[in-house]
Structure 1
């Protein structure tokens, strides 16, 4: 290494961070929002009610509805309500048509049924169609508009680059913890570097954990060769044996039989789990003599995502199978995945993880801007801006200032699109990417400081006015949610207001930004003024310096 180890690490840190930074910022923002995806889904379906009800009543209401509307289905799946999701959500799979025309993919999709019920009354809720917070969760590792397999490889590639950038960044900054306590405002490049260091070090353990465990969640897809060698043509058998899941349910007998009361079956599961609650129910072959009920325990305080499962005979209540018994390697993987998904987190810890995710977003965003600032100082000597710097400026504007607009557009679409819009969930998603695309186009056409300010002000206005739009279009606004103590609904509105104010402040600072000028630059400008030459315009290109 001609430049020495630390200098090589600095080069590596710069380029692996920059090349994936814009996509990484979207992944970080969507993943951070996913900590509250259930709350976001609830806000985006304001028609849902919040009356508390016992699990037995909710399960009985769900079964009654399914008996009336899907008694001959191949299986039922019921998600019971909890504090973060007050409604019963369920789906089922109808039998194939007797004419044998149900083998195609489209036909299989048509066989799925779904419903959302009021937990207390069991009546269907006509909630608006939306992907809600689930869109952000899937977006941060499945992306959109491209095949899922390719998307996950791309995300894994970005995560590897992120891990390399974090490790090389720690090596590069030998005074990283000292720099954590140092921030010099209004110093141009020095201020951006300080901000980048602080946002990185403040949540450094979180950044390492979330990046590494994110890779682990998809490791079986990235490294499938061991499975293929040990289980040739029987990959499904590997998952059953190694991951400790339930085996395939027994086939239907073809003989009708009455099923036991679902409350009694749930009580059997609670006794098995020492009083733990049930999260989901899956009934295979309902109303058949071979009917079985699979129950999944609700997430508790355990780090692992491996939750205990049981399968009971739905006719006589006999225990058929226990799941969740995995080996050491799988248990380690489950803990790492549990750390990434944070199902164990209570309200306080979830908030801490959310704030750490926001710091990760700031770290990536400030790194993008910092690279452009450093390059602009080099271009200032020649008095012109190259294509590469202009492209980075445009992408920075599109990602850093444009992504908040995209998120706000998604929420606005949920409130403004007619409820009977065809493919309404996809229409909301299309508007998310339309907002992002338009902001990026502004950056490409006008990569100047004014574009930063305009887009930040636009994002601020959209977020600040979101609670107002909510009040004008629904009955689930702050005037109702705050007096009722409904912090799920109120929290989304309040965060939108706070985030909008932060964006507005950033836009105000950007509009009044005065690039720092070094002593050498001052002397160069004074000399140019004496000679009658025009001052360089490089510092104004891209908006920040």
Structure 2
């Protein structure tokens, strides 16, 4: 079990670290998006009913996307102050080059109070990029990325279970930390971060697999529905098949009364999305979907109306079956949409503990392997290929990822607001910064490089609030000291500041212990002294 725990964790730990980091940030993806669109900070305090916001959004779509067969409207809520509209361009229609959108879709951000296009708002994928990175990765097809993530998640589940079996004194070890004891210190740190949020680690790994269960285990559905996935979706989730245009023009019924009817049906629960198919056609339909806030289940009830008469066609999801509700609860636990700010903060802290657990586990493998090669290294030999590779991958992932995240936020503030393809430029900045850190780690995986990259990440993260003060009017002096502006903006600034200070403390401790070790290691070439060294008591 110890062997299984070590190798099932090591082989995928660097991908898992990216998944944990991006997934942890995703608990506040709406707040991250709001921070990355400072032009919306003033409108965050505007209170507009869902019905009014939907009516104004439909009016905008009728003026600007009348020939589109599909409209989607994301309504404002407590975490997202703006209205987002998305529509499909007709076949052959060119992209406008205005606003956002991907593929055949166009998107706009609207003022909920007026329905006007907020042209001055910078285009960004914000927290949505980090959310998608968590399970879709990037630069590859989503289907392959999800198979990779599922493979790594299964290894993670094996590592957690085998780790519980291996550590017989796991809860006793949680209260034990022996500093400056080399390998023992790294093991204590790994045990503490693992046990601190052990229920969370088990839940988040298993439910992560459940979110994509229909892709990983499709055989039951294929057999029961004879390969008709759409029929399964219609029956299990109440999804209506895509209608066909009748060719007969018909005026779209007002949407605001339908939204109000849905709110009454759900006893005050607010809708989050309105989907309109075939607007202007006699076969038009309007679907109003409820949000999942306040509900453990991720299944969102919906009401479908006739788009011409406004008559209710179907209400789905109000009383799902037991199996559907069980899956919905597991997906809801994973996404935590039900959680309020404090509970999401607890999920965030648990996610950080997961990041630390993966990182310390990877470093512990290097420490143990280096200890086995201590005599050869002391005699001037080079580390083995496997040890050097793991040291470099650890450095590129553990110290490089904070640099990449910080670069993403810096790019959001420094790139020109009207720059074409601006969201892609921000994302490319993320990967360029990470690639540079990873390449430098492969070239020189030394203690010095650890300190350089840790300090770089620390300074870049800690300086984000300062950057925000120079580029916006909603800095900490306003949001925190004066109590004005969105609290989410102040929370973001304080969080990245705290993370920067933590990285800086790690870099400082590493540098101080490196100086203390220097007299005893003058005979060892500097290039062979990686960060995870345990041949002296100060390694941890």
- TM-score with structure 2 setting the length: 0.91
Please state if 1:496 is matched with 2:496: yes
Structure 1 match to 2:296: 303
Please say if residues 391 and 532 of structure 2, whose CA atoms lie closer than 8 Å, have aligned partners that are also in contact: no
Aligned length: 516
Q: Does 1:543 align with 2:531?
A: yes
The match for 1:47 is 39
Deviation at 1:248, TM superposition (A): 2.0
Residue number in structure 2 paired with 1:487? 487
Structure 1 residues 165 and 538: alpha-carbon distance in aligned structure 2, compared to 1, 3 A threshold: farther
The root-mean-square deviation of aligned C-alpha atoms, in Å, is 2.4
Task: Give the secondary structure class of the aligned counterpart of 2:388.
Answer: helix
- Partners of 1:16 and 1:161 within 8 A in 2: yes
SS in 2 for 1:47: helix
Q: Distance in 2 between matches of 1:111 and 1:514?
A: 55
After superposition, the Cα gap between the structure-2 partners of 1:448 and 1:258, relative to the gap in structure 1 and judged at 3 Å, is: same
- Where structure 1 has 5 or more consecutive residues not aligned to the other structure, the ranges are 1-8, 103-107
Q: Is the 8 A contact 1:379 1:538 kept in 2?
A: no
Greater shift, 208-217 or 44-53, is seen at: 44-53
2:168 corresponds in structure 1 to 174
Task: Specify the alignment match of 2:538 in structure 1.
Answer: none
TM-score normalised per structure 1:
0.90
Name the CA distance, whole Å, in 1 between partners of 2:232 and 2:110.
Answer: 36
Q: 1:233 to 1:544 in 2, by over 3 A?
A: closer
Corresponding residue for 2:322?
Answer: 328
Partner of 2:14: 22
The alpha carbon displacement at 1:538 in A equals 9.0
Q: Deviations over 1:10-52 (max 9, x none)?
A: 1111111111111110110000000011111111111122222
Report the counterpart of residue 443 of structure 2 in structure 1: 445
Larger RCO of the pair (alpha carbons < 8 Å, separation 6+): 2
Aligned-pair distance for 1:479? 3.0
1:370-421 Cα distance to aligned partner (Å, 9 max, x none): 1111111111122332111111111111111111001001111111122233
The 3 A distance-change label for structure 1 pair 150 and 260 is closer
Instruction: Report the counterpart of residue 511 of structure 2 in structure 1.
Output: 511
Q: 1:393 aligns with which of 386, 391, 394?
A: 391
Q: Hey, what does 1:6 align to over in structure 2?
A: none
**Alignment counterpart, residue 337 of structure 1, candidates 308, 331, 335:** 331
- Once the two structures are superposed, the pairs formed by residues 25-424 of structure 1 within 5 Å of their partners are 25-48=17-40, 49-50=43-44, 51-96=46-91, 112-126=105-119, 127-242=121-236, 244-324=237-317, 326-383=320-377, 384=381, 385-424=383-422
CA distance in 2, matches of 1:57, 1:403: 42
**Which deviations, in whole Å up to 9, do the C-alpha atoms of 1:316-354 show, x marking residues without a partner?**
321101222543322211111111111101111100000
**TM-superposed deviation, 1:111:** 5.2
In 2: Cα distance, 1:505 partner to 1:468 partner: 19
Relative distance call for 1:437 and 1:254 in structure 2 (3 A) is: same
Quickly say closer, same or farther: Cα 1:270–1:253, change in 2 above 3 A. Answer: same
Equivalent-residue separation in structure 2 for 1:370 and 1:397 (angstroms): 13
CA contact (8 A) 2:292 2:299 kept: no
Q: Determine the C-alpha separation between the residues in 2 that align with 1:96 and 1:372.
A: 55
Shift of 1:229: 2.5
Tell me the SS of whatever aligns to 2:247.
coil
The whole-number CA distance in structure 2 between the counterparts of 1:256 and 1:118 is: 29
CA shift for structure 1 position 90: 0.7
**Structure-2 residue corresponding to 1:431:** 429
CA positional deviation for 1:233: 4.2
Identify if the C-alpha distance between structure 1 residues 298 and 469 changes in structure 2 by more than 3 Å, giving closer, same or farther: same
Displacement of 1:262: 2.0
Conservation of the 8 A alpha-carbon contact between 1:515 and 1:544: no
Rg larger in 1 or in 2?
Answer: 1
Shift of 1:537: 5.5
Write the distance in 2 (CA, Å) between the matches of 1:406 and 1:308: 38
Corresponding residue for residue 98 of structure 2:
none
The more displaced of 49-58 and 32-41 is 49-58
**Secondary structure of 2:314's partner?**
strand
Separation of aligned partners in 2, 1:23 and 1:166: 16
- Secondary structure at 1:382 match in 2: helix
Displacement after TM superposition at 1:481 (Å): 2.8
Distance in 2 separating the partners of 1:288 and 1:380: 76
Distance 1:536 1:258, change over 3 A: closer
Cα distance in 1 for residues equivalent to 2:104 and 2:428: 26
Q: 1:69 to 1:202 in 2, by over 3 A?
A: same
| Contact 2:230 2:241 (8 Å CA) reproduced | no
